[in-house]
Structure 1
Amino acid sequence: MSIQAVNVRNQFKGKVSEIIRGEVVSEVDVQTPFGIVTSVITTRSVDELGLAKGSEVVALVKSTEVSIAKL
């Protein structure tokens, strides 16, 4: 599955392997077939997406930014 609604060509399907929560931002590690991709996103987004260890996601990579979309 790929996310069609965004203009990001580099999409890596994986599972959340770790979340390091902060007050405002959190680090989300995603294990992909190519290795671990880390995203720094707001803690609010972590909660709104319902992300947890083992969640299936797509890491959307554009330049130095890594976005997360829950499957």
Structure 2
Amino acid sequence: MAITAINVRNQFKGKIKEIVRGDVVSEVDVDTPAGIVTSVITTRSVDELGLKPGVEVVALVKSTEVSIARIGG
């Protein structure tokens, strides 16, 4: 199955930099032109998707809330 369209607008193409495996969930760091994007997904999904460092992926970010924090003076 190939995805031909998706409603998620925040998409970051990159390569997996590191995976920190856990028994149930794992952290997946994706190196993108915008910086590192980290996803926490099930370890089963890591295995089923064949994820490992160097694999090209797209990090899809969908959120119902975006928070803003003021920085500086």
Matched with 2:25 is: 25
CA distance in 2, matches of 1:44, 1:27: 12
Computed over aligned residues only, the root mean square deviation of the Cα atoms, in angstroms, reads: 1.4
Q: Tell me the TM-score normalised to structure 2 length.
A: 0.79
Matched with 1:14 is: 14
More strand by share: 1
Identity of aligned residues (%): 82
Q: Which has the larger radius of gyration?
A: 2
**Structure 1: gaps spanning 5 or more residues:** 65-71
For residue 50 of structure 1, report the CA deviation from its aligned partner.
0.1
CA distance in 1, matches of 2:45, 2:6: 17
Matched with 2:38 is: 38
- Equivalent pairs, count: 62
Q: Secondary structure at the match of 1:53?
A: coil
**Structure 2: gaps spanning 5 or more residues:** 65-73
